A = this chain, B = another copy of it.
Amino acid sequence: MKAEIISIGDELLIGQVVNTNASWMGTELNLIGVEVRQISVVSDTDEEIQRAIEEAMKHAGIILITGGLGPTKDDITKKTLTRMFDGKLFFHQDIYEHIQILFRVKGLPFNELNKAQAELPDICEIIPNEIGTASGMLFRKDGKIIIAMPGVPFEMKHMMQNHVLPLLKKEFHLPFIIHRTIMTTGMVESELAEKIESWEDSLPSHIHLAYLPRPGIVRLRLSAYGENRELLEEQIAHETARLNQLIPELIYGYDDVLLEEVVGNLLKQKKKTIATAESCTGGFISHLLTSIPGSSEYYTGGVVAYAYEAKEELLGVKHSSLVQHGAVSECVAKEMAEGVRKRLGTDYAIAVTGIAGPGGGLPNKPVGTTWIAIASAEGSKAKLFRFGNDRARNIRRAATATLNMLRLELI
Please judge, given known A-B contacts A22-B19, A189-B72, A306-B301, whether A212 and B11 are in contact too, CB under 8 Å: yes
Task: Indicate if the CB atoms of B19 and A18 lie closer than 8 Å.
Answer: yes
Give the nearest-CB partner of A3 in chain B: B13
Task: Indicate if the CB atoms of B309 and A300 lie closer than 8 Å.
Answer: yes
- Interface of chain A, main secondary structure: mixed
Which of these, B12, B16, B208, B390, contacts A256 with CB under 8 Å?
B16
Q: Which residues of B contact A133 (CB under 8 A)?
A: 190
Q: Which residues of B contact A287 (CB under 8 A)?
A: 281-284, 287
Given contacts A301-B305, A301-B314, 4 further A-B pairs with CB under 8 A are A73-B200, A74-B211, A276-B283, A301-B304
Q: Mask for A292-322, Cβ within 8 A of B = 1, else 0? A: 0111100111111111011101100000000
Q: Which residues of B contact A362 (CB under 8 A)?
A: none
Within 8 A of B (CB), among A273-294: 275-276, 278, 281-287, 289-291, 293-294
Q: Which residues of B contact A109 (CB under 8 A)?
A: 191, 194
A74 vs B48: C-alpha distance in the bound complex, in angstroms? 32
Please judge, given known A-B contacts A71-B193, A301-B306, whether A26 and B30 are in contact too, CB under 8 Å: no
Task: Indicate if the CB atoms of A302 and B303 lie closer than 8 Å.
Answer: yes
Q: Which residues of B contact A359 (CB under 8 A)?
A: 293-294
Which of these, B41, B106, B221, contacts A16 with CB under 8 Å?
B221
Quick check: is A343 within 8 A (CB to CB) of the other chain?
yes
Task: Indicate if the CB atoms of A25 and B19 lie closer than 8 Å.
Answer: no
Quick check: is A341 within 8 A (CB to CB) of the other chain?
no
Within 8 A of B (CB), among A224-239: none
A179 vs B60: C-alpha distance in the bound complex, in angstroms? 35
Q: Among A31-39, A140-148, A164-172, A243-251, which stretch is in contact with chain B? A: A31-39
Quick check: is A258 within 8 A (CB to CB) of the other chain?
no
Which of these, B14, B200, B314, contacts A303 with CB under 8 Å?
B314
